[in-house]
Chains A and B, each alone.
Chain A
Amino acid sequence: MEFLLELVVSVLIVLGGFFALVGSVGMVKLPDLLTRLHAPTKATTLGVGGALAASMVFFAGFEGDLSIHEVLITAFLFLTAPISAHFIAKAHLHEHAELRDGLPPTGRAQGWSTFDSLPDPDDEDDGDDARAAHH
């Protein structure tokens, strides 16, 4: 039983370290920011999740106190990682206006919210005009 617990904790720690490393290597190797954003937000979050799960199993199994702190930290990180990635991508698009030509059409009257303002409710053609001007 002791051995099994140790094995679980060790595997979780090694997995966590490995995925955190993969995320950071991806951030160094990938070519531009929008691809670079993928590595830290997915792999690194999984890595820190592994370390937190290891800590939870360790303190529940060896010290005998099941703590909820790890769940709090994990939930917080898993909730905030996509939000910060979304913000970073939006700020990047805001800084590089030439990237709007690579975006797919929205399929609606209004364009992408980062580049085009909301359509005027009084004037239905406003968004179409903005899209036509941009193509």
Chain B
Amino acid sequence: MITHALNFGFFALSLAVLLNLWRLLRGPSLMDRVLAVDTMVINIIALIILFGIQQRTTIFFEAALLFAMFGFISTVAYCRFVLRGDVIE
């Protein structure tokens, strides 16, 4: 049963990443693209977690945590650059 649920989860999350890529491509504004990248990072974290369940290993948690941190920091850096013209003043 978990195998089928995992297959559904992989399918749904991959479709979600494809939709994010479409939004990243279409824009239309700069912030739409930043939002698309932010959402894509979150979807990829969920994919990594599901892959860890499938492989029955906890080794991917650090990767997921790193993804979460870098996704947040890059979003904030982009927004600060747009707002202030500089990332670190």
A95 touches B4 (CB 8 A): no
Rounded to whole Å, the gap between the CB of A83 and the closest CB of chain B is 7
Residues of B within 8 A of A (CB): 1-2, 4-6, 8-13, 15-17, 19-20, 22-23, 29-32, 34-36, 38-39, 42-43, 45-46, 49-50, 52-53, 56, 58, 61-62, 64-65, 68-69, 72, 75-76, 78-80, 82-83
The interface residues of chain B, by DSSP majority, are classed as helix
Residues of A within 8 A of B (CB): 6-7, 9-11, 13-14, 16-18, 20-21, 23-25, 27-28, 33, 36-37, 40, 44-45, 47-48, 51-52, 54-55, 58-59, 62-63, 65, 67, 69-70, 72-73, 76-77, 80-81, 83-84, 87-88, 90-92, 94-96
